[in-house]
Amino acid sequence: MTRTRAAIAAVAALGLTLAGVWVVLATTAGPADPDDGLAPPAGDRSPPRREATPHAPKRAGAPERAGDGLALPVAEPRPPQVTRSQADLADGDTTGELADLSAGPAEVVAVGAGWGHGVGLSQYGARAMARHGHDHRAILDHYYPDTRVTQHNTGHALRVGLLSPTARPTDRMRVTSRRTWEAGAVFATAGGERVPLPTGQPVTVTADDDEVVAHPAGGPRLRGARLTLDWDAGATGGAAVAFSGVGGAVDATRWGRVEVTAIGGALRPVLVIDVQRYLRGLAEMPPSWPEASLRAQAVAARTYALRVAASGLNTACDCHLGPTAASQAFRGGPRRAAARPWLRAVAETAGQVVTRDGGLVWAYYSSSHGGRTERTVDSFAFGRDDGQWPSVDDPWSLDPAADNPKASWQVTISHEAFLEALGVPLQTLLGVDVVARTAGGSPHTLRLVGLLPNALPVVSTWPPPGAGDDGAGARLRAELGADVLPSQQLTELRVVTGG
């Protein structure tokens, strides 16, 4: 602590105000269960801001052991900047410990809870609520306040891109079946021609500039601006039509039809499918979870898909939704017997959606939260205030009944990586404290103590004034990514000696 107090005292002696320090810093500141074979609500579902899908991501996270969660005082949603006096700082009034760099290089320890963007329904929270006896309507009412579950016309065709948003553009794909095709069961249409595909033979599809070419083995070559593959699911004996060369996001589907276009030599394969069959192919929640949680998931997923479709096509992919969890995790093919509870939940909630004032809501969801939900304006994945979702208490994500593997977690970040994420010209970080939080519990404002490259000690707040509305937790999560921070809901940050 001696070194930190000396640094702070030096700042005070130089007569630097907090705002004055930020004049310096701001010059470079930048912003499953094993038995069913399905992963738990998985990975980070929320890329920074926007992905290849046309709408802000709806979910994030995967479901580790409940500690204190985010049982910390929650600040006002838009807290003021720190106004503590230099005298207070010089007295060493800090809440964190100072790293003694003489003992080795410094690292930053981040402690947090939850996995995902923090907005809307928590999948692990839904699991806990179901285990405590709540039905799916109560679960939806908790996470989507001031809404109703109503019946809605779901006779819409969804367009689901088959390429993973992170996959490289491809000029070649193959379409085949996991069982031998029956003669005439699968048809290919292009350039005004519609021909049955030979029995049991795969089809190679390539791009020739802005045209699509199909090369059925032993059959005539088809060429046109759009290739359509359609089939009678009954005639194929329930077999899935399988794909390869599309980035691995979707490997098969039993229903719908496939439309393939090309732009500049890159294929754009899209599955056109009705809402109920689309939901049957989702892999968002392990089917072994309680019935009420599966039903809540089905209603949320249906609402989200229809709300996205109502907003129009993404011209980049000619689709409404992508196949990954950045939209909703769609796997498409026939599901094993273990998936029957999920298929039953989809069927028993047919037509049910979440509405407010008669309109579909943005039914965002993610794996789990850290004790409260975040407002969209405070989440790294959205960063806008749509006024739709307030922050609500979420003890369920941390309830032992959730069996949430991300109820509490701790990661260590290198000194260099943390400073790079901050985007400030500090040479050495000596201390970091959370001085204000969002309504959902994420850090909004940090106080940094460190040394500039010229060894000048500084104390200041981050993000700096005028840097926008994004809070510290949201910025760190967006910069460091899901591989480092499962969520932005950090309960503690501290600088420690790495050696």
pLDDT the model gives residue 244: 75
- Euclidean distance between CA atoms 65 and 44, whole angstroms: 18
Among 160-169, 239-248, 460-469, where is mean pLDDT lowest?
A: 239-248
The two three-digit tokens of residue 79, written as one number: 């807290």
pLDDT score at 499:
55
Q: Answer yes or no: is pLDDT of 93 > 60.
A: no
Given a cut of 50, whether residue 65 has pLDDT beyond it is no
Assess whether pLDDT exceeds 50 at residue 479: yes
> Does the pLDDT value for residue 423 go beyond 60?
yes
Please report how many Cα atoms fall inside a 13 Å half-sphere around the Cα of residue 117, on the Cβ side: 30
* From 134-138, 146-150, 287-291, 386-390, the region with the lowest mean pLDDT: 386-390
**Higher-scoring residue by pLDDT: 290, 23:** 290
pLDDT of residue 19: 37
Q: What is the mean predicted confidence (pLDDT) over 412-434?
A: 94
Q: State residue 199's pLDDT score.
A: 65
Instruction: Report d(CA 85, CA 417) in Å as an integer.
Output: 30
- 3-state helix/strand/coil string of the chain: CHHHHHHHHHHHHCCCCHHHHHHHHCCCCCCCCCCCCCCCCCCCCCCCCCCCCCCCCCCCCCCCCCCCCCCCCCCCCCCCCCCCCHHHHHCCCCCCCCCCHHHCCEEEEEEECCEECCCCEEHHHHHHHHHCCCCHHHHHHHHCCCCEEEECCCCCEEEEECCCCCCCCCCEEEEEECCCCCCCCEEEEECCEEEECCCCCCEEEEEECCEEEEEECCCCCEEECEEEEEECCCCCCCCCEEEECCCCCCCEECCCEEEEEEECCEEEEEEEEEHHHHHHCECCCCCCCCHHHHHHHHHHHHHHHHHHHHCCCECCCCECECCCCCCCCECCCCCCHHHHHHHHHHHHCCCEEEEECCEECCCCEECECCCECCCHHHCCCCCCCCCCCCCCECHHHHCHHHCCCCCCEEEEEEHHHHHHHHCCCCCEEEEEEEEEECCCCCEEEEEEEEECCCCCEEEEEECCCCCCCCCHHHHHHHHHCCCCCCECCEEEEEEEECC
Q: What's the CA gap between 444 and 75, in Å, rounded?
A: 9
Least confident window among 124-128, 235-239, 347-351, 460-464: 235-239
pLDDT surpasses 90 at 442: yes
**Single-letter code of the amino acid located at 354:** V
The more confident residue out of 54 and 306 is 306
The 10s digit of each residue's pLDDT in 156-215 is: 899 999 887 767 778 888 887 665 555 557 788 999 888 887 666 778 899 999 999 998
Does position 274 have pLDDT exceeding 60, yes or no? yes
**pTM here?**
0.81
Q: What pLDDT is stored for residue 216 in this prediction?
A: 80
Range ranked top by mean pLDDT from 205-214, 220-229, 471-480:
471-480
Is cis: bond before 486, omega within 30 of 0? no
To the nearest whole number, what is the mean pLDDT of the chain?
79
Minimum mean pLDDT among 77-86, 365-374, 405-414: which range?
77-86
Torsion sign across C-alpha atoms 175, 179, 183, 186: negative
In this prediction, residue 226 has a pLDDT band, given cuts at 50, 70 and 90, of very high
Q: Specify the pLDDT at position 185.
A: 73
Span 111-123, pLDDT tens digits? 999 999 999 999 9
Give the model's confidence band at 288: pLDDT under 50 very low, under 70 low, under 90 confident, else very high. very high
Could you read off the pLDDT of 98-113 as tens digits, one per residue?
A: 555 555 568 999 999 9
Is 60 exceeded by the pLDDT of residue 382?
yes
Quote the percentage of the chain above a pLDDT of 90.
Answer: 53
pLDDT for the residue 154: 83
- The full set of domain ranges for the chain reads 2-30+61-117+403-497, 158-276
Write down the pLDDT at residue 179. Answer: 59
Half-sphere exposure of 469 (CA within 13 A, CB side): 13
pLDDT at 41: 60
pLDDT at residue 102, as a whole number: 54
